[in-house]
Structure 1
Amino acid sequence: MVNSTTQKDALKVNLDQLQCHFTWTSKKKTIDLDDMKQRLEDTIQTSVKPQARFYNHFAFINCQQGKYEEAIQNLKEAEKILKESHGDDFEKRILVTYGNYAWVYYHMDRLEEAQSYLDKLETVCKLFPEASRFAAMIPEVYGEKGLSLLKSAGQYYEEAKECFKKALEKDPDNIEWNVGYATVLYRLEEFSGTPESHKPTQSMKQLRRVLELDPDHAEAMVLLALKLQELSQEGEASTLVERALQKSPDHPHVLRYAAKFYRIKGDVERALKVLKTAMEITPNSTFLHHQFGLCYRKKLMSLLKNPLSKNPSNPAFQQKVELIKLCKSHFKNAFKPRPLTFIKAQLDFAGICSLNEEFPEAEKIYTNLLKLKDIRPENRQAICLQAGLFQLFQKRAESKAVALFLEGMKVNYNSIERKKCRENLERIATGRLRRNPRDTEALGALGFLHQLDGKKRKAVEYFEKALQFDQGNEEYLSALCELRLSI
């Protein structure tokens, strides 16, 4: 038994050095595995040509869920595809698959088989001058790593971007990695607070590069159209969307981005029509459900401007009830399989519940979201902001709102959500101090704000004043002590 444990521990040391799915996204608690599996199934079903990387990723998920035999079958499928499609550079392409084999057999306690794949890796790695004993960081590995991280969760996007850059340094014309790089730039630009969001045309340049390499790449066309739409270049954007739909009328990704384009343009009926076509192809897509919800919300917000929507005997009221029901249903279907990663859909659902005065349901969502760990900083700030506004306006709980805005501010990340947390916090604190200069909570909040700004002496003033009226407050005492030591 001791020898077996020692052997397993020694094996694990070597396995940790591998470059494969088990070392790239090892935080199982930050990934919605069932949803990822569904998305992979959709991708395989709608792909013209099978890709080994889909089956590699499948093997990782099945193994995480304890379905080891299925995982081995996935890897056999990946290996078969690589032999058929990449015979000339099989050794470059097989590295990740061999690494995954070793890990799956390790999890099955079949240590000899795990070791045999480590031996195979060691043999293959000798072909590459810069490789270590079990890993070779060549473009094929960087490319597959980037694509794997891109499929996983938002907190891996920065790392995915670096992988694509490294892969493209050695192989600048590889279409798959150029698409991956363009996609990750596009997604990072959508996150408020990332360096990419301050230069929102990086992805446009990269998408045009993809279209240079493959003028018929319909997904690149619709993504580029969405970026052009942001810059109010509607003419070129519309042309690209129409071209993309002609080229790939059945591609779910093309359809979903085209629908987003039409919704933003204000043509909600056209967006819904495109979404219905996409939903027939991939009925379980969480992204599509979210897009449906956003379309129905747009119709709802327009209807709410009509005063007759408040009158139960008017048809507009019934229409409002139906739209609220549709929004809730689609937002819920969007986040239910993705409770860890689809935060936006959960916030949208809570927003509709709040609008419909279903306050306990909205509060339940905010409570669960505030417990999430390892999420993107702008998501943490968005949760604090929306939960804070809910406490402020729906629950009339100003103190809870202040605490939430302050929590959002303490996430050191320069996003729009953080700016809004600050604006609300300052407005509440200054308003309360005008009414009562001895309001310790308002004084403390302003003290923390000045501390976060690096205005230490001003922060000290506020904390000292707060402690005059609340002498035993440990939070203020601790902050004051820290500030005095740093001045």
Structure 2
Amino acid sequence: MASIQTDLQRQLDSVECHFTWNLSCNVSILHRQQERLEDRSRHGCTWEGHLYNLLGYVVYHIQDSAEEALLHLRQAEVVLKEQEPEGRGPRLLVNQANLAWVHYHLGELPECQSYLEEVTRLQEEFPAPPGCELHPEVYGEKGWTLVKFEHDFQKLAVANFEMALRGETDRKEWHVGLALAKYKVYFNEGNEELRGEIIEQIKIAKTKDPDNLRMLAMYWNALADVGKKTEETGSSDEALTCLRKAEKMIREQGEEEKDCLLLVNQANLAWVHYLRDLLVSRRIESTCDESTEQGHKAPLR
């Protein structure tokens, strides 16, 4: 039995998952993570499988409950299997390794071994692309997880999203993750050139994921922070469309939170209307000024 446990422990230490990523074990940080993750799970999340994977890890450390962690990891497994065409694929690599870890801590060694074998099968069926040590799905989930922790972890998130994009250059999730991580880590510390690169990455992300309200808001905030004025055609109309989508989403939430968010959203709508009217009036004034100036400069006949 001891030799079996030693062999399993060796295998567990070699897999890529939340339990081997040396994440923060600070209780106050993990409590905040739990609150945020549970809130996101109630309101929907495009990274739902990753969310339940991380929640399983967080709950395990806060409550010291492998049973509770197992519930969340199984939720993640169901979601991730639904996202794979045949019910299994590389999205499950991290989840199956997490499940192996938790079963090991429950003393359920046959189950642990079974999940480790599934990780090995997935690695063989879905190998990492050339130039990557890990599959892009692993880099992506690792980046998504790290970006939610402290500054040093967020730096590592940047590197993981860059590696994910090396393997899957057009994947919108990795572009969004890289934009978010770079913005968090470097935007307030960077020089003008670096800020410009980050703004360009945010622009790429919002273009690839046009329904992502966070990327759109981040783009406007970044432009405002560097004092860059943009008069892109349709930008104010894009803002209005985006805010109306947000209003529809807000109305589906709880009453108390909905009232507060609707108030903020209505203020945003009013502000965008004002900016659009101001932009139109300035364009009219500019056109009039140019016409007047050209009139003054007209040659005498």
- The TM-score range, normalised by the shorter chain, is 0.7 to 0.9
Distance 2:78 2:231 in 1: 42
Partner Cα separation in structure 1 for residue 155 and residue 47 of structure 2 = 27
Distance change (3 Å), C-alpha of 1:146 and 1:223 = same
Who is 1:453 aligned against? none
Tell me, yes or no, if the aligned pair for 1:189 and 1:198 is still in contact at 8 Å.
Answer: no
- Partner residue, 2:154: 157
**Are 2:140 and 1:143 equivalent residues in the alignment?**
yes
Give the Cα–Cα distance (whole angstroms) in 1 for the partners of residues 84 and 191 of structure 2.
35
**3-state SS in 2 of match to 1:25:** coil
1:128–1:162: structure 2 CA closer, same or farther, 3 Å change rule? same
Whether contact under 8 Å (2:81, 2:87) holds in the other structure is no
The corresponding residue for 1:123 is 121
Q: In the alignment, is residue 232 of structure 1 matched against residue 223 of structure 2?
A: no
For residue 80 of structure 1, the aligned residue among 74, 78, 81 is: 78
Aligned-partner residue type, residue 91 of structure 1? G
TM-score normalised over the length of structure 2 = 0.73
Letter of the 2:41 counterpart: I
* 3-state SS of 1:137 partner: coil
Question: Are 1:182 and 2:179 counterparts?
Answer: yes
Of 111, 114, 134, which residue of structure 2 is paired with 1:113?
111
Q: Residue 34 and residue 176 in structure 1: after superposition, are their counterparts in 2 closer, same or farther (change >3 A)?
A: same
Contact map agreement 1:225 1:236 (CA 8 A) in 2: no
2:222 alignment partner AA: K
2:49 alignment partner in structure 1: 52
> What is the match of residue 11 of structure 2?
14
Q: Distance in 2 between matches of 1:50 and 1:147?
A: 9
Which structure 1 segments of 5+ residues have no match? 253-273, 281-487
* TM-score for both structures, normalised by structure 1: 0.47
SS in structure 1 opposite 2:89? helix
Within a 5 Å distance, the mapping from 1:20-419 to structure 2 comes to 20-29=17-26, 32-47=29-44, 51-65=48-62, 66-88=64-86, 90-129=88-127, 137-192=134-189, 199-234=194-229, 236=231, 239=236, 242-249=240-247, 276-277=260-261
Q: Distance in 1 between matches of 2:193 and 2:230?
A: 24
Q: Shift in Å at residue 207 of structure 1?
A: 1.3
| CA offsets 1:350-376 (integer angstroms, 9 cap, x no match) | xxxxxxxxxxxxxxxxxxxxxxxxxxx
Q: Give the CA deviation at 1:94.
A: 0.9
Amino acid of the residue matched to residue 243 of structure 2? L
- Contact 1:51 / 1:78 at 8 angstroms: preserved in 2? yes
Relative to structure 1, is the Cα distance of residues 25 and 242 closer, same or farther in structure 2, using a 3 angstrom cutoff?
farther
Show structure 2 runs of 5+ residues with no match: 251-257, 265-301
Q: Would the aligned equivalents of 2:89 and 2:126 in 1 still touch at CA under 8 Å?
A: no
User: CA 1:213/1:130 → structure 2, altered by over 3 Å: closer, same or farther?
Assistant: closer
Task: Tell me the SS of whatever aligns to 2:147.
Answer: helix
Cα pair 2:17 2:97 within 8 Å, conserved: yes
| Kept in 2: contact 1:211–1:221 (CA 8 A) | yes
Q: Which has the larger radius of gyration?
A: 1
2: CA distance, partners of 1:214 / 1:55: 23
Seq. identity, %: 28
Count residues with an aligned counterpart: 251
Q: Distance in 2 between matches of 1:26 and 1:49?
A: 22
C-alpha spacing 1:149/1:251, structure 2 compared with 1 (3 Å): farther
Match of 2:299 in 1: none
For residues 223 and 116 of structure 1, the distance between their equivalents in structure 2, rounded to whole angstroms, comes to: 43
RMSD between aligned alpha carbons? 3.1
Contact 1:149 1:157 in 2 (8 A): yes
CA shift at 1:236, angstroms? 4.9
Q: For the Cα contact (< 8 Å) 2:93–2:138, is it kept in 1?
A: yes
